Structure 1
Amino acid sequence: MGQHLFIISLLLFSCQTKLGQPSKPDIGTTSRKETKHIIKKEAELLEHFLDSTNIGRPKKNKFELSLFRNSDSSYVIIHFYVKSNQNKWLLKQKFNFPANDISGCFTELSDFNNDGFKDITYKSALAARGANDVRRLFIYDNSKDQLIYIKNSENYPNLGYNKKLNCIDAFLVHGGSTTVFLKIEKDSLREFASVNLDDKINIQLIDKNGNRRYLIRNKKNTFDPYTRFTNFSPLEENTVQ
């Protein structure tokens, strides 16, 4: 009888111990509802841009940009889609970049290489001087039906297509100004000429190896120091800005 009581007591103790312990799935886990709440709290959507009627092949391509902010940083996520034969959007490319959430992205579409397809830029940084609009540039490549991210585009503020020379030019504002003439080569912009203005005019030519030579050096400047040019030889002002 005593032995039976001992065994029963031992079984009761064992059951109480197991019942008192939390089950393994409850340890260090978060419910799906709570997880969604945490993600939403940590990543706030600040800006969203969507276009499928202008970028690349209209209605065959779609560009989506989202600007997020979490507790310690901001970032941009870009998705580029192509339409399948089944009339469904297929994700082809994804880009992720750190961002500045103060100014907004101000996404713009324009043809930067005169191929008849719209390319896209967005404001990616705040420049020391407000007149410098710093952007990331994505060129649409029709042969591959995808975007080419131009890796050094942020080095050249105020980018625009130059119809006169069939190139891209940039306009840098500093103590004076510099107009830079650029060609797209693969995934980068390459300088081939520049016009620098302050109290003097300096025009440089740059070869494919990056070697520079002066076309005009330290000539007295008769232009406004913040003049943008469409040509460097001869000098022609940009009258449409």
Structure 2
Amino acid sequence: MRNIRLLMIFILLINCTNKSAENNKTSSQIIINQKGVKNQVKPSKNEATERFAETETFIDSTKIAQKGKYKIEITQTTIDTSTTVYFKLFLKQKGKWTNIQNYSLKKESDVPLITEIDDFNNDGLNDFTIHYSTAARGANDIRKLFIFSNKEHKFIEIKNSDLYPNLQYNKKLDCIDALSVYAGSSTTFLKLKKDHLIEFARVDIMDRKIEIYLIEKNKERKLRSETYSGSSDEMIRFVNYDPLEEYGYENNSTREN
């Protein structure tokens, strides 16, 4: 009987020892896990908020608007994938530059700041464009046009100018024309009306077939069709639509400042 009791006590002691070991093992695992969490490396605030930024600047006081009287400062800032163009216009008064206009607009982030100064409305005061986007693998240079208003002493953004690629002044017709390049090309003739460009004629050419349209109040009327007899294969631009004249075949296609 005594031996049986001793055996039962021995078995109980063994069970208690095993449970204690299991508890110690579990406790050790928890401590290891806690240390593992504490030792994880987290990104610093500077790393998490680091952003790409780039700035381009253009300044002119020799040609813009009226020579020597106005100065423009154009800045393009890109932060990550957001690009904004800002410009400041200054007027010289008593030998000092006075800021008279501030303006900004958003644009595509992957195109550089390229500025062109020219008189687009033939009023003797120079306007400017900024490179806004590209299309057709770079053949269509899309720009935002800003026309100087002498009455208001500021630049007016031409709201739909980015719809017409490769803008330039047309001395022959005293208008603005645009060249759109695709499988063929279109020369569009435009007039300025307040802050918009208005189409009044267009010449389309594709596979040497030419179609000429007159446009009034956004309605097209085909003037005539004909076959192209020139030697150019692409980028064909017309300086006139009636009669049909191609750039490069007459001396009035461009104008000196």
TM-score by length of 2: 0.72
**Partners of 1:149 and 1:226 in 2: CA distance:** 27
The C-alpha deviation readout for 1:219-239, integer Å capped at 9, x for no partner, is: 333344531010000100100
**Partners of 1:72 and 1:122 in 2: CA distance:** 18
- Structure-to-structure mapping, 1:224-239, within 5 angstroms: 224-239=233-248
**Partners of 1:128 and 1:172 in 2: CA distance:** 9
Query: Residue 72 of structure 1: CA displacement?
Result: 3.9
| Residue number in structure 1 paired with 2:61 | 52
Which letter maps to 1:83? K
| Residue number in structure 2 paired with 1:152 | 160
**Partners of 1:75 and 1:186 in 2: CA distance:** 24
SS of the equivalent of 1:180 reads: strand
Which letter maps to 1:49? F
Query: Residue 198 of structure 1: CA displacement?
Result: 0.2
SS of the equivalent of 1:54 reads: coil
User: Are the aligned partners of 1:197 and 1:225 in contact in 2 as well (CA < 8 Å)?
Assistant: no
Query: Residue 69 of structure 1: CA displacement?
Result: 1.4
1:220 equivalent among 217, 227, 231: 227
| Residue number in structure 1 paired with 2:103 | 95
| Residue number in structure 2 paired with 1:33 | none
Query: Residue 146 of structure 1: CA displacement?
Result: 1.3
**Partners of 2:154 and 2:106 in 1: CA distance:** 22
User: Are the aligned partners of 2:120 and 2:147 in contact in 1 as well (CA < 8 Å)?
Assistant: yes
| Residue number in structure 2 paired with 1:114 | 122
Q: Which runs of 4+ in 1 moved over 6 A?
A: none
**Partners of 2:175 and 2:235 in 1: CA distance:** 21
Query: Residue 176 of structure 1: CA displacement?
Result: 0.1
1:143 equivalent among 135, 151, 154: 151
Which letter maps to 2:214? L
Q: How many residues align?
A: 199
Which letter maps to 1:227? I
User: Are the aligned partners of 1:228 and 1:237 in contact in 2 as well (CA < 8 Å)?
Assistant: yes
The runs of 5 or more residues in structure 1 that have no matched partner are 1-36
User: Are the aligned partners of 2:136 and 2:181 in contact in 1 as well (CA < 8 Å)?
Assistant: no
| Residue number in structure 2 paired with 1:64 | 73
The C-alpha deviation readout for 1:182-219, integer Å capped at 9, x for no partner, is: 00111111000000000221111011x212101014x3
1:183 equivalent among 191, 206, 222: 191
Which letter maps to 1:148? I
CA distance change for structure 1 residues 71 and 226 in 2, over 3 Å: closer, same or farther? closer
User: Are the aligned partners of 1:173 and 1:226 in contact in 2 as well (CA < 8 Å)?
Assistant: yes
The C-alpha deviation readout for 1:153-197, integer Å capped at 9, x for no partner, is: 101111111010000000000110000000011111100000000
Query: Residue 101 of structure 1: CA displacement?
Result: 4.0
Worse-matched range after superposition: 98-107 or 46-55? 98-107
2:90 equivalent among 81, 84, 88: 81
Larger Rg: 2
TM-score by length of 1: 0.76
SS of the equivalent of 2:162 reads: helix
User: Are the aligned partners of 1:51 and 1:64 in contact in 2 as well (CA < 8 Å)?
Assistant: yes
**Partners of 1:95 and 1:58 in 2: CA distance:** 21
User: Are the aligned partners of 2:136 and 2:182 in contact in 1 as well (CA < 8 Å)?
Assistant: no
User: Are the aligned partners of 1:63 and 1:79 in contact in 2 as well (CA < 8 Å)?
Assistant: yes
The C-alpha deviation readout for 1:45-82, integer Å capped at 9, x for no partner, is: 42100011110122221111111111341211111222
The C-alpha deviation readout for 1:137-157, integer Å capped at 9, x for no partner, is: 111112222111111110111
